[in-house]
Chains A and B, each alone.
Chain A
C-alpha cells in the first residue's frame, strides 16, 4: 500500500495523459498474439480429429496383417453395419457430453424400447409402422424424464441414468415375461431398416443421416452454439441469458429419440425383440464418443470425431472377431483404448493448461 500511496504524488502526469503517452509510445498494438503455453493445448485440440483419424487408419493397416479376410468388401460393410446402432445413439451422447451431461441408460432404454416395439407390432398387432411411430416418441419421453430429474431436482445425470439403467432393463424383462418376441419380418418396413440399397445397408444410411443432422445442429444452429456454451462455462451461459436447463433437456430428449430410432432399426434388422438387447450398449456408445475426442468435462467435441470413434470401435470389433476373440475381448480392448485416451487427455492438460484449469 505504501508504494501505492507515494507514487502518484511523485508523478504529475496521470489522467488522460496516460492514453496520450501510451498512444505516442505506439505500443497499443504490440500484443503477443497468443500466450505460448496455452497455445500448445489449443493446437493439439485443433489437431485432435486428425490424430484420432490417424489412429483409425493405423488400426486399419495393422489388422489386415493378422488376418486375410479383414479387407474384403463384405467384411467392411458388415463391420460398419455392426456398429451403426452404436453410431446412431452416439450422436445424442455427443450432444450430452458437450452440454456436460451423460446418459448411462441408453442400453437399457434400447432393450426396453425394442421389447415395446415387439409388443406393439406382434402382440397388439399394430404393425411395424405404427410401432415405430409409437416407440420413437416414447424414446423421447425417456430422455425427457432423465432430463427433468436432472434439471429440476438437480441430481447428477450419472446417478439418475444409472438408476434408469436398472429400471428399464427390469421393465423390459417384466413386459416380455423374459421371452423374446419374434416376427416373420416381411414388407417395406423391414427392407427400409434391415435391408440394403445398392449394396449399402439401410442401417448405415440411417446412422449417417443422424450424424449429418447432428453435425449441422451443433455447428450451425443457435442450439448448437448454446450447447457448447452450456458445457464450456455454465455460469457464463446462464449470465448471457441462455436457458441451460432447456439446452440440457433437449440433449436428453434427442438421445432418447435416437434410442427409439435404434430400437426400430434393431427390430427391423433382427425381426426379434430380446429383453436383454442392448446389454453393454451404453459402454460402446460412450466409448465411441470419448475415443472420438469429445471432452468428458463438456464444451468440446464434434460429430466427425464421433464418426471416427465409432469406426475405430468397428475396426477393433471386426479385427478381434476375425482373430478369434469374443465380444468380451473386444470390450476389454475398447476399455483399454478409453483409458488410453483419458490418459493422453490428462497429460495434454497437465502439459498445456494454465493453473486456471487445474
Chain B
C-alpha cells in the first residue's frame, strides 16, 4: 500500500467549546490518501465534534486546517466537498422514494437544454459509479428505500466518492448493519483505500477497527491521547487509552 508522504488533510490545535463544555481541546489530526484512519473514543470524547469540523458543518474556535498544502477554512459542507472532503453521515442522507441514480446525483443532476435532467447520462454515470464500488445492486432505477442497509450505505459512500471525494469521513458506517452486511461495507472501505482514497472512520467496534484501520487515533475528554499504527499496538492498549487507565 502506497501512502502519500504528505497528509492530504492536516489539522493542528483544533479547539471547540459549547458554553462551558470543552468539546475539543487542541486536537491534531493527519489524514493521508490511501490510508484508513480510525477515530475511537468513549461517548463524549469529541469524535463527533471533530468530524463535524472536518466536514465543514461546525467551525473550530481555534486551530489550523491545511488541505493539500493550502491553509484553508472549511466554512460549510459544500466548501469541504469542493476541497475533496466528503462525509457519509449515519443517517446517510438518502431520499428513499427516489431511485439509485437520482440519489447518486442528488443536487448535481447532469442537465441538457438548460432545465432538463439528462436521465440517460445520469443512469450511465450511476452504473459506472456502482461498477467502481464493486457492490451488487439490482438496477440504478431501483428505489433506494427498497435496498438493504448495506446497499444503502454503499450508495451513500458511492455518492461521496463520486463527488470528487479524496478523503471520505464515515460516522459509524456499520452501526445499523448485521454481520454480513457490515463485512461488505468494510470490504468497500478497503476497496476505497486501494483506489487511493483517504478514509476516516469513526467506530466503537474494536474488532472492526483492528481489521481495517492503518492508524488509530484515540480521543478522550476532547483531547488527543494517542495515535498508534495498527501493527504496533494491541486492542488492550487502545481500550486502556480510551478509558484512561495509564498503567497496565
Interface of A toward B, CB cutoff 8 Å: 1, 4-9, 14-16, 18-19, 22-23, 28-35, 38-39, 41-42, 45, 220-226, 228-229, 232-233, 235-237, 239-242, 299-300
A-B pairs with beta carbons under 8 Å apart, 17 shown: A1-B239, A4-B205, A5-B236, A14-B211, A18-B186, A28-B135, A29-B136, A221-B117, A229-B102, A232-B96, A233-B93, A233-B94, A236-B92, A236-B93, A240-B106, A299-B97, A299-B98
Which of B3-11, B24-32, B140-148 binds A?
A: B140-148
Q: Closest approach, in angstroms, between the C-beta of B110 and any C-beta of chain A?
A: 10
A5 touching B147 in the complex, CB below 8 Å, given contacts A235-B91, A299-B97: no
Q: Are B107 and A242 in touch, CB under 8 angstroms? A: yes
A222 touches B111 (CB 8 A): yes
B93 contact from A1, A7, A226, A240, Cβ within 8 A: A240
CA distance A224 to B116 in the complex (A): 9
Q: Measured between C-beta atoms, what is the minimum distance from A254 to chain B in Å? A: 14
Q: Contact: A7 with B146, CB < 8 Å?
A: no
Q: Which residues of chain B are near A16, meaning CB under 8 Å?
A: 1, 190
Residues of B close to A7: CB separation below 8 A: 207
Within the complex, what minimum Cβ distance (angstroms) separates A16 from chain B? 7
A9 to B205 Cα, complex, angstroms:
14
Q: Once bound together, how far apart are the Cα atoms of A229 and B145, in whole Å?
A: 13
- In the complex the two chains form, is B187's CB within 8 Å of A241's CB? no
| Interchain CB contact under 8 A, B146 and A35 | yes
Interface residues on B, range: 35 or more
B190-A18 in contact (CB<8A): yes
The answer to whether A220 touches B116 (Cβ under 8 A) is yes
Docked CA distance A316–B25 (Å): 68
The reply to whether A32 and B148 form a contact with Cβ atoms under 8 Å apart is: yes
Min distance, Cβ B64 to any Cβ of chain A, angstroms: 26
Residue-by-residue, is B155-198 near A (CB-CB < 8 Å gives 1, otherwise 0)? 00000000000000000000000000001101100110010000
Contact B107 A5 (CB under 8 A): no
